[in-house]
Amino acid sequence: MTARAAARLARESRNWLAPFLDALSIAGPRILELGSGEHYADSAVLSERGFTLLACDRRPAHTTSLSVHAFAADISRPLPVRTAAVDTVLASLSLHYFTWATTVEIFAEIHRVLRPGGALLFRVNAADDLNYGAGIGDEIEPGYFRSDGRYGAPCKRFFTEDTVRAALTDLFEVSHLEHRSSDRYGATKQVWECLAHATSATRGPGWSSNRKPA
Ligand SMILES: C[S@@+](CC[C@H](N)C(=O)[O-])C[C@H]1O[C@@H](n2cnc3c(N)ncnc32)[C@H](O)[C@@H]1O
């Protein structure tokens, strides 16, 4: 990564996280980041603010200067984290690679690792994210396209407001949901940004990951 790209990444991390810092402080100090990427840009901002960071990715890079505990995990599988162990789950641009059934399972797994009332802060590709492949290629499921395979993922989902809300099911209550533009990776990227809180709903008998988007 060039110095310029690294500076842009750091600036964009500070900017997108800034409006949520108070809500994350209220949620508590323990944050789990899913799909952190190798630069830990978001984790760096939050560890500087005094949060305790667990960060996972498929193959996490070594962290040197940050107080971030990095570990390897496939976020489409059950997470190696105890139930109700964290106050916040953060996922920037890492929850949009999965089939609908897996997406709903991932949100349920996030709910499991959050303490009751804990926060989920995430952002995902929006359906108008034209610079990053929206509407291009084979559509395997509604909004889910075969992609260029970057980040080890053969497919990408592009969310609408309705599909963001559908993925959250009744396990989360939406506190903030907004369509935004980002220059994180250079070309303008369209995303949905969401802060939600874990409800007391549980996956009881009859709960099914095969629910379709609304
Ligand atoms: C677009 S990058 C986002 C990285 C960083 N969070 C950011 O905002 O710049 C997507 C990240 O999700 C990770 N990822 C994709 N599928 C994953 C999976 N099944 N398990 C763990 N990490 C995954 C990729 O390795 C990559 O680091």
Assigned domain for 88 exists? yes
Measure 205 CA to ligand 1 centroid, in angstroms.
Answer: 32
Query: SS3 breakdown of the chain: % helix, strand, coil, rounded to 5?
Result: 30, 30, 40
Instruction: Select from 8, 92, 93, 94 the residue to mutate for testing ligand 1; criterion: most ligand atoms less than 8 Å from CB.
Output: 94
Assigned domain for 205 exists? no
Q: Which ligand 1 atom sits nearest the alpha carbon of residue 97?
A: 16
Take residue 175 and report the two structure tokens written for it.
């506190």
Question: Concatenated DSSP letters for 105-172?
Answer: HHHHHHHHHEEEEEEEEEEEEBTT-GGGTTT-S-EEETTEEE---GGG-SEEE-B-HHHHHHHHGGGE
Assigned domain for 180 exists? yes
Assigned domain for 9 exists? yes
Ligand 1 interacting residues, C-beta cut-off 6 A: 35-37, 57-58, 74-76, 92-94, 97, 151-153
Which structural domain range is residue 127 located in?
A: 3-198
Measure 97 CA to ligand 1 centroid, in angstroms.
Answer: 9
Report which protein residue has its CA nearest ligand 1's atom 13.
35
* pLDDT single digits (tens) 35-91: 999 888 999 999 999 999 999 999 877 766 567 899 999 999 999 999 999 999 999
Assigned domain for 214 exists? no
* pLDDT single digits (tens) 82-103: 999 999 999 999 999 999 999 9
Residues whose CB is less than 8 angstroms from the CB of residue 204 and which lie 6 or more positions away in sequence, other chains included: none
Domain count, the chain: 1
Task: State yes or no: pLDDT of 206 exceeds 70.
Answer: no
Nearest Cα residue to 164 out of 195, 139, 192, 189: 192
Report which protein residue has its CA nearest ligand 1's atom 23.
35
Assigned domain for 142 exists? yes
Q: Tell me the CATH number at 15.
A: 3.40.50.150
Average pLDDT, the chain: 92
Instruction: Select from 57, 59, 74, 193 the residue to mutate for testing ligand 1; criterion: most ligand atoms less than 8 Å from CB.
Output: 57
Take residue 67 and report the two structure tokens written for it.
């107080």
Assigned domain for 212 exists? no
Report which protein residue has its CA nearest ligand 1's atom 9.
37
Using pLDDT thresholds of 50, 70 and 90, give the confidence band for residue 214. very low
CB atoms < 10 A from the CB of 205, how many?
4
Assigned domain for 57 exists? yes
**Percent of the chain at pLDDT exceeding 70:** 93
What local confidence, expressed as pLDDT, does residue 148 receive?
A: 78
CA max distance for the chain: 52
Mean pLDDT of 171-186: 96
Residue carrying structure tokens 């929206």: 134
